[in-house]
Chains A and B, each alone.
Chain A
Amino acid sequence: MLVFVIRRTLQSVVVLFAMSLLVFVGVYAVGNPIDILISPQADQIDRERAIAALGLDKPLWAQYLSFLADVAHGDLGRSFVHSTSAIGLILERMPATIELAATAMLIAIVLGIPLGLWAGLKPNGVAGRTIMAGSILGFSLPTFWVGLMLIMVFSVMLGWLPSNGRGETTLLFGVVPVSFTSINGLKHLAMPATNLALFNLALLIRLTRAGAHEALLQDYVKFARAKGLTNARVIGVHVLRNILIPIVTVIGLQFGSLIGFAIVTESVFAWPGMGKLLIDSIGVLDRPVIVAYLLVIVTVFIVINLIVDVLYSALDPRVRLTESQG
């Protein structure tokens, strides 16, 4: 177990390193941020002074090395546009993204598992078929378009919900700003979270249904029924507990992808999170922020994957944590 965690961590460092090099070189090759940052009226001397101030006059390898040295000190560079530290900008927006992703996951779990269970237990009923048809739609609907349609219906036509921003935020534990503590904040949170939840809702429905479908044919279910247990107990205890292992794994892994997909939802609803920051930064070629965002998100993913793997072995004693071949 310990060996596994250590090996995975070392491997992750290699991945992070390769990623930083790739992105750094790649972003460097695209366009010149100076053209965007400095007004065309500026004279040559001003231009050169700005280039030198941003360190853009040095060769690429020197820029990368000084970047690495800064990273070692916990500094991922300064944003060209905001002229504050890039990592600070990202951490400042991280709570908004995490709140959005967590709410979306909650919606998906609360609705997805019961609906999937229903569809799995009564696969040929009208409700079961409707749920499954709905889940195909959930997979097929492009997230950004659903977001637009939500805005059209609930903001423009009905005027019930605000179409952008986070609304009022209050400080949780005195440091983390959150929206879910006020009515106004909840109203702002409702549409983006629903929008982001749709894909995972469909996924959880399908997963739960498949699990329930399979579990019902197993001997232990037949045995439980033969013992004369009530239907509620057979399903609630015996079936649910056995299908929960893959579901928990997927929930863990999908949390990372929610943070990734939040980029789209945040752009549609002007939600001030990390994803929107990335899109804005790509638009103005704010290199330090792009590189810092990617390093942060890769780290988040590596940590999530590691936690899920460890949790998986804790939940299912049949799984041994060894480095798989290939």
Chain B
Amino acid sequence: MNGLRRARRQEGEKDSPSAHGAAESPFRRIVADFLANPVAVFGLALLGAIVFLAMFAPLLSPQNPYDLAQLDVMDGRLPPGSPSPSGGTYWLGTDDQGRDMLSAIFYGLRISLAVGVTATVLALVIGLAMGLAAAYVGGRVEALIMRIVDIQLSFPAILIALILIAVLGQGTGRVIAALVTVQWAYYARTVRGAALVEKRKEYMEAARCVALPPSRIVFGHLLPNCMPPMIVVATVQVAAAIALEATLSFLGLGLPITEPSLGLLIANGYQYLLSGKYWISFFPGIALLCTIVSINLVADQLRDVLNPRLQR
């Protein structure tokens, strides 16, 4: 097993001429290339901080925004910087229920990220399976899958998501189902493209010549070599999924009120915006923006680093 893995690594090195000269591993090279761009490093740091806040929201938040015992409606709609009755400060103000916005945002990040990542992982798995099947089997299967992909990709994501929500009804599981349905096609198309290129390479021919079982060829050889473009698409799509969920929730067609994601927080502040109480919508929007921008910055750099054509 070990020997095989080493053999595969050598195959990989044959593909990328840059790895010839230096005796470093591809992984270390990718990390070094990634860190060479300060903007991307900033994006990664910001993303790390956001993920940290989301994961440990219950420990880091000044209050539990969904524990009714801790809320006081008399504290409702206080501007940022107001003192709280427990001796602290509402740094980002409070919403109409007297909820600390900072805490609400931490909890909202948690929900938004969880929904976005879950949807992306599911879509990735489905898209990979479909795309690999299309490329490896070919013929009618390929024609059918790719026709569905083409038709689906010719419609904007928001429209497909809305159709699905109208058809499926609302709820967390259904929103995730809608996001997955919107996104699998991107992965299927990307992985098929990559797999068609890889399929013609010599190592694939070699694998077939030694009569490896098809499952071994697909999962052991074809799949790992198709992963770099998939990683880039998946990163971009996490941001897209988070933005789409926020949009659906804002329109009142996304997550239920029991799952207050950033989109719902923004929607909640919409009615107070016209009376000048900007903070209820503004700060959750900033949190959403930071999340999406940081993911996009990381994805942008990953695209350059993982693209063999751009290797120096």
Q: Any chain B CB within 8 A of the CB of A38?
A: no
Chain A residues whose C-beta falls within 8 Å of the C-beta of B246 in the assembled complex? 142, 144-145
* Cross-chain contact B159 with A140 (CB below 8 angstroms): no
Q: Which residues of chain B from 139 to 158 have any CB-CB distance to chain A below 8 Å in the complex?
A: 142-143, 145-147, 151, 154-156, 158
Chain B residues whose C-beta falls within 8 Å of the C-beta of A245 in the assembled complex? none
Chain B residues whose C-beta falls within 8 Å of the C-beta of A115 in the assembled complex? none
Q: Which residues of chain B from 267 to 312 have any CB-CB distance to chain A below 8 Å in the complex?
A: 270, 273-274, 276, 278, 281-282, 285, 288-289, 292-293, 296-297, 300
Chain B residues whose C-beta falls within 8 Å of the C-beta of A261 in the assembled complex? 156, 158
Chain A residues whose C-beta falls within 8 Å of the C-beta of B225 in the assembled complex? none
Chain B residues whose C-beta falls within 8 Å of the C-beta of A139 in the assembled complex? 296
Cα(A15)–Cα(B167), bound, Å: 17
Q: Which residues of chain A from 26 to 65 have any CB-CB distance to chain B below 8 Å in the complex?
A: 26-27, 29-31
Per-residue interface assignment for chain A, residues 276 to 296, with 1 indicating a CB less than 8 Å from any chain B CB and 0 otherwise: 001100110000001000100
Chain A residues whose C-beta falls within 8 Å of the C-beta of B145 in the assembled complex? 326
Chain A residues whose C-beta falls within 8 Å of the C-beta of B274 in the assembled complex? 151, 155-156, 163
Known A-B contacts A137-B293, A142-B288, A156-B276; A260 and B134 likewise in contact (beta carbons under 8 Å): no
One of A22, A136, A282 near B162 (C-beta < 8 A) = A282
Q: Any chain B CB within 8 A of the CB of A149?
A: yes
Cα(A256)–Cα(B153), bound, Å: 12
User: Helix, strand, loop or mixed for chain A's interface?
Assistant: helix
> Which A-chain residue is minimally distant from B266 (CB atoms)?
A145
* Cross-chain contact A149 with B134 (CB below 8 angstroms): no
> Which A-chain residue is minimally distant from B39 (CB atoms)?
A133
Cα(A113)–Cα(B134), bound, Å: 37
Known A-B contacts A144-B250, A152-B278, A325-B143; A256 and B156 likewise in contact (beta carbons under 8 Å): yes
Per-residue interface assignment for chain B, residues 167 to 178, with 1 indicating a CB less than 8 Å from any chain A CB and 0 otherwise: 111000000000
Within the complex, the shortest CB–CB distance from B271 to chain A, in Å, comes to 11
* Cross-chain contact A26 with B168 (CB below 8 angstroms): yes
Q: Any chain A CB within 8 A of the CB of B163?
A: yes
Cα(A156)–Cα(B276), bound, Å: 6
User: Helix, strand, loop or mixed for chain B's interface?
Assistant: helix
Within the complex, the shortest CB–CB distance from A105 to chain B, in Å, comes to 14
* Cross-chain contact A142 with B243 (CB below 8 angstroms): yes
Per-residue interface assignment for chain A, residues 246 to 268, with 1 indicating a CB less than 8 Å from any chain B CB and 0 otherwise: 00000001001100110110010
Cα(A307)–Cα(B146), bound, Å: 21
Q: Any chain A CB within 8 A of the CB of B195?
A: no
Number of interface residues of A (CB under 8 A): 45
Per-residue interface assignment for chain A, residues 292 to 304, with 1 indicating a CB less than 8 Å from any chain B CB and 0 otherwise: 0010011001000
* Cross-chain contact A15 with B151 (CB below 8 angstroms): yes
* Cross-chain contact B167 with A30 (CB below 8 angstroms): yes
Q: Any chain B CB within 8 A of the CB of A148?
A: yes
How many pairs, one residue from A and one from B, have CB atoms within 8 Å of each other in the complex? 112
> Which B-chain residue is minimally distant from A254 (CB atoms)?
B156
Chain A residues whose C-beta falls within 8 Å of the C-beta of B163 in the assembled complex? 23, 294
* Cross-chain contact A264 with B247 (CB below 8 angstroms): yes
Q: Any chain A CB within 8 A of the CB of B179?
A: no
Within the complex, the shortest CB–CB distance from A121 to chain B, in Å, comes to 21
Q: Any chain B CB within 8 A of the CB of A141?
A: yes
* Cross-chain contact A326 with B146 (CB below 8 angstroms): yes
* Cross-chain contact A326 with B285 (CB below 8 angstroms): no
Per-residue interface assignment for chain B, residues 112 to 143, with 1 indicating a CB less than 8 Å from any chain A CB and 0 otherwise: 00000000000000000000001000000011
* Cross-chain contact A282 with B166 (CB below 8 angstroms): yes
Q: Any chain B CB within 8 A of the CB of A143?
A: yes
Per-residue interface assignment for chain A, residues 126 to 166, with 1 indicating a CB less than 8 Å from any chain B CB and 0 otherwise: 00000000001101111111001101100111000001000
Known A-B contacts A148-B273, A148-B281, A156-B273; A263 and B253 likewise in contact (beta carbons under 8 Å): no
Chain A residues whose C-beta falls within 8 Å of the C-beta of B168 in the assembled complex? 26, 30
> Which B-chain residue is minimally distant from A298 (CB atoms)?
B155
Within the complex, the shortest CB–CB distance from B284 to chain A, in Å, comes to 9
Per-residue interface assignment for chain B, residues 253 to 266, with 1 indicating a CB less than 8 Å from any chain A CB and 0 otherwise: 10000000000001
Interface CB pairs A-B, < 8 A, 6: A151-B273, A152-B273, A155-B274, A260-B156, A264-B247, A282-B165
A22-B167, A267-B251, A301-B155 given; name 19 further pairs at CB < 8 Å.
Answer: A23-B166, A30-B166, A30-B167, A30-B168, A136-B293, A142-B247, A142-B288, A145-B246, A148-B270, A151-B274, A152-B278, A152-B281, A156-B274, A163-B274, A253-B154, A260-B155, A264-B247, A301-B154, A326-B143
* 6 closest A-B pairs by CB: A26-B167, A260-B156, A257-B156, A260-B159, A145-B285, A326-B146
